[in-house]
Amino acid sequence: MTVARSTLAFQLLLPAALFGYAAVANFAMPTRIAPAPSQQEPSLPSYFNGGVTGHLEKLYRDGLPHRQLAVEMVGAARYLLLGEGRRGVVAGEDGYLFTDEEFRFSGNTDALVSESVDQIAVVSQTLANRGIKLIMVPLPMKSDIYQNELDEPAASAMAKEIYDSFQAKLAEHGISSVDTRSALVAAQKDQQVFLKTDTHWTPVGAEAVAEAVAVQALGQRPGIFEATPGQRKSVEGDLVKYVTGGVFAQFVGLGMETIIPFSLTSKTEDTTVDDLFGDATSIPVVLVGTSYSANELWSFAPFLSSKTGLDVSNAALVGQGPMAPMRKYLASLGEGAAQPESVVWEFPVRFLTDAHLWSEIAQKKEVVGHGSH
C-alpha cells in the first residue's frame, strides 16, 4: 500500500476509531466526570470546537485509561475534520502552523508599538553613554512572510503594518534598524525560511537576516570566518503539541522537519570556533535576543560572524522574550564585562502586541540605570 493510500485510509478511519474508542471508554468512566446535561442538542462540529471540545479533552486527560492517546486522537480528528488546533495555534494551509501570539491585535496596538520604541530608545541611550551602538533586528511575523499559507488576509496585513510601524518609529528616534522582512521575503521564494510547524526560523532564514545585518549595519569582511554545515537534524515543531502528537502528527501531515545547523570555522586557523568570547578584553559585537538567536539549531550567531567577519558574543536567552536578555546584559555592563562596539538586538515583532511586555522594566528601572554608570 502506498503512503498516499495509507494516509487516506487513516483519514477515513480515524473519526470512526475516535468515536468507537470514546463510546467504549466513556461507558466505563465514573459518572462523576460525565458532562453536565446540555439544554441544546449539540451538532457534530460542536464536538470538536469551542467549549464542548475543551470538555472532551479535559475528560480524556483526567479519566480515560489511555488519556494521552485519547487527547492526541481528538486533536488529530479535529485537525482533519475542521483544520483547527487548540488554543495556542492557528492552522494554515499545507501543514503550516502559526502561533496565536501573532493574532493578538487590539485597538491600542499602535500605542503599544510606540511604548516599545520609547523603551528601546532608553536602552539605546544607555548603550550610547558607553560608546556602544545599538542595532535593532526586528523579525517579522511568520503570518506575514507566509501569508499565502494562511487564509487570514486581514491578520497578515496587520502583521506587516506592525512591522512597518515599528521600523518607522525606530527611524524617528534615530535608532539603527535592519530591514529583515525584505531579506526573508526574497529568500522564501526558493527555500524555507520558517519551519512549517514551528514558531522559529530555519538556518536559511537566519542566514538571510545575517546577510542583511552585515550589508546594512556592520559591513562585510569576507575570508575570516566560515559557517560550516553539520549533520542533518530532525526537529519536531513546537506548535504541533497544540494540535496532536505521537504517531498521529505524522499521519495528519505534521511530522518531523529536517534542518542543517551550521557551526563557525576560522579560515585562518582552519579550526572550529567553540568559544568566540575567549579571554578577549573587547568584543566587536554582542548579540542579544530570543531563542531565534540562542538556539544553536538556527545558527544565527555563526552566520552573523561569517557574514561580517567579526567575533560575536552571544548573550541571547531561550524562552524569556526580547527584554529579559537585554536587561540581563545591561546589568552585566556594570560588572566589568568586555565592552563591544555594537549590540545587535534580535527582536520578534509579535511581542510588540503584548500589553505586559514592559511591565518588568517599569518596576526595575534601576537595571537600565546600571548601564549608564
Residues labelled as active-site residues: 198, 200, 291
Q: Which three cell numbers stand for residue 67?
A: 488519556
Residues 6+ apart with CB under 8 A from 234: 256, 257, 258
248 Cβ contact partners less than 8 Å away, ≥ 6 residues apart: 14, 72, 73, 75, 76
CA distance 6 to 25: 26
Q: Could you tell me which residues come within 8 angstroms of residue 184 by beta carbon, excluding any fewer than 6 positions away?
A: 140, 145, 193, 201, 205, 208, 209
- Strand partners for 138: 347
Q: Are strands 133-139 and 176-177 parallel, antiparallel or unpaired?
A: parallel
Phi-psi sector, 299: left (phi>0), alpha (psi -120 to 50), beta? left
- Count the neighbouring beta carbons within 10 Å of the beta carbon of residue 36: 6
Cα dihedral sign for 335, 338, 343, 344? negative
b/e code 65-81 from CB counts within 10 Å (16+ = b): eebebbbbbbbbbbbbb
Cell of residue 359, nine digits: 511591565
The answer to whether 289 touches 232, Cβ cutoff 8 Å, is no
Interatomic CA distance for residues 351 and 10, integer angstroms: 38
